[in-house]
Amino acid sequence: MFTRTLRHAFAVPLGAAMLMTAPASGLFAAHAQAMSTVLIKDFAFSPAALTIKAGTTVTWKNTDDETHTVVGPAGVFRSSGLDQGDTYKFKFDRPGVYAYICSMHPHMKATIVVQ
Ligand SMILES: [Cu+2]
* pTM listed for this prediction: 0.71
**Alpha carbon of 82 to ligand 1 centroid (Å):** 9
- Expressed in angstroms and rounded, the spacing between residue 58 Cα and the centre of ligand 1 is 18
What is the CA(44)–ligand 1 centre distance, in A?
8
The H-or-E segment that residue 31 falls in is helix 2-31
Number of H helices and E strands in the chain, helices first, is 1, 7
Neighbours of 58 (CB within 10 A): 20
Rounded to the nearest angstrom, the distance between the alpha carbon of 67 and the centre of ligand 1 is: 6
Residues in contact with 59: Cβ distance below 8 Å, sequence separation at least 6, in sequence order: 35, 36, 37, 38, 87, 88, 89
The CATH superfamily label for domain 33-114 reads Cupredoxins -  blue copper proteins (2.60.40.420)
Where in the chain are the domains?
Answer: 1-32, 33-114
Contact residues for 98 (Cβ-Cβ < 8 A; gap 6+)? 72, 73, 76, 77, 92, 111, 112, 113, 114
CA–centroid distance, 45 to ligand 1, in Å, is 9
Beta bridge partners of 45: 40
pLDDT tens digits for the chain (115 residues)?
454 544 544 444 444 444 444 454 445 544 445 799 999 999 999 999 999 999 999 999 999 999 999 999 999 999 999 999 999 999 999 999 999 999 999 999 999 999 9
Q: Are 35 and 28 in contact (CB under 8 A)?
A: no
Report the SS3 class of residue 110: strand
